């Protein structure tokens, strides 16, 4: 469940998060940026077809690889992917088919 506090496109508190991927057939992650404590789980839920979650940058020591498979593999509406972040830092990511359209996001782990 998403919290109610939104500031500048960034959602922050101590809970796990769900990020909508491609809601309304738009090329966005919603919310685009979240801040969570170490140990929080992020779940990406695809709301339309032909999307994925590909890491752009991750903190040193992180082995986060995004959605399973090569960056060219995409998934359909209803697919969900989750990961628990335990290493502090900023995780920037994008949707491979839609990166040129600006479909990017970030998770900051405190």
Specify the pLDDT at position 91.
Answer: 99
Annotated binding site for Cu cation: 51, 95, 98, 103
How many Å apart are CA 77 and CA 91, to the nearest integer?
24
DSSP for 53-92 reads -EEEE--TT-----SSS-TT--B-TT-EEEEE--S-EEEE
Please name each of the domains of the chain with its CATH number: 6-109 (2.60.40.420)
Give the pLDDT confidence of 75-89 residue by residue, as tens digits: 999 999 999 999 999
Q: Could you tell me the pTM of the whole model?
A: 0.85
pLDDT at 4 over 50: no
Annotated binding site: 51, 95, 98, 103
């Amino acid at each position: 469940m998403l919290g109610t506090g939104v500031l500048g496109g960034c959602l922050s508190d101590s809970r796990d998060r769900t990020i909508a991927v491609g809601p309304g057939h738009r090329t966005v992650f919603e919310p685009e940026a979240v801040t969570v404590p170490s140990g929080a789980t992020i779940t990406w839920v695809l709301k339309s077809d032909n999307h994925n979650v590909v890491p752009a940058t991750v903190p040193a020591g992180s082995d986060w690889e995004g959605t399973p498979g090569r960056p060219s593999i995409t998934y359909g509406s209803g697919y969900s992917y989750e990961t628990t972040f335990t290493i502090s830092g900023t995780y920037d990511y994008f949707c491979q088919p839609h990166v040129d359209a600006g479909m990017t996001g970030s998770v900051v782990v405190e």
